[in-house]
Amino acid sequence: MKNIYIVALIFLVLGSCTNEKKGSMLVTGEIKGLKKGTLYLQKMKDTLLVSVDSVNLDGMTTFSLSDEIESPEIYFLTLDNAKEKQIAFFGDKGTIDIQTKLDKFGFKATVQGQRNQELLNEYKEMITKFRDKNLDFIKAEFETKGDTTKMDSVQKLANNLLRRRYFYTTNFAVKNSDAEVAPYLALTELYNANIKLLDTINNSLTEEIKASKYGKRLQEFIEEIKEKRE
């Protein structure tokens, strides 16, 4: 009987070990209000969104996911594999903590991570102000429809706001040129901006960041634009 107990204990320990998350990046957190669902940890591979880990949550609001990561890049936390229920964050070695609510999943979440995520949080906080102001201009433009003079005035203000947003993004990226978030912002926020702004960011990057995933993509993107102009 004693031997049976020991064997059972060994299997229990082995079973608990296999459930331990392995990988250089650990993503933990809580989804308040969740009763049941499947949570996926995903990232882009070439042009496809692939799942690298998943967990079924039944009666649990907390979660733990992991992946072996070589360098910082954007990951997605997706609930029930639905695009509208997706949280983007900067993955990195170490622990990433994500706190959100079921009714706000994909719209509002608190993400605490490593340096790139902290910088992204800082950037988003400022950019939200630009977006809110732009919504005011859209509303004003709609209300002044038919009045050409007022519409032109509102449009000029909107264009000026867009230029300020582009310059803020450029300055933010240059200021943090030793972080992967710099080329990432260039690719996602300035893809239709003046090529000079992209060059400014690209030229400011450290050699390490130029060799990163987004650093290489930025260089390729700039070269593609210049080739089309020739």
Q: What's the mean pLDDT in 33-44?
A: 96
For residue range 176-220, what is the model confidence (pLDDT) as tens digits? 999 999 999 999 999 999 999 999 999 999 999 999 999 999 999
- Residue 138: the pLDDT is 85
Between CA 51 and CA 69 the distance in angstroms is 14
- Residue 148: the pLDDT is 83
Q: Is the pLDDT of residue 15 over 60?
A: no
pTM of the model: 0.85
Among residues 62, 65, 87, the alpha carbon closest in space to that of 76 is found at 87
Query: Residue holding tokens 């910082």?
Result: 72
Measured CA distances, 174 to 79, 169, 192, 200 (Å): 35, 9, 18, 8
Q: What's the mean pLDDT in 149-156?
A: 85
Q: For the chain, give the mean pLDDT.
A: 89
| Angle, alpha carbons 67-72-75 (nearest 5°) | 55
- Residue 55: the pLDDT is 97
Which residue type occupies 161?
L
Q: Is the pLDDT of residue 122 over 70?
A: yes
pLDDT band at 20 (very low <50, low <70, confident <90, very high): low
Q: Is the pLDDT of residue 85 over 70?
A: yes
| Angle, alpha carbons 162-165-167 (nearest 5°) | 110
Any idea of the CA torsion for 102, 106, 110, 114, to the nearest 10 degrees?
130
Which residue type occupies 59?
G
Between CA 178 and CA 205 the distance in angstroms is 6
Measured CA distances, 172 to 181, 183, 189, 199 (Å): 10, 11, 12, 14
Tokens coding 27: 């993503």
Q: Roughly what angle, to the nearest 10 degrees, separates helices 213-229 and 181-189?
A: 40
Q: Is the pLDDT of residue 128 over 90?
A: yes
Q: Helix, strand, or coil here: 47?
A: coil
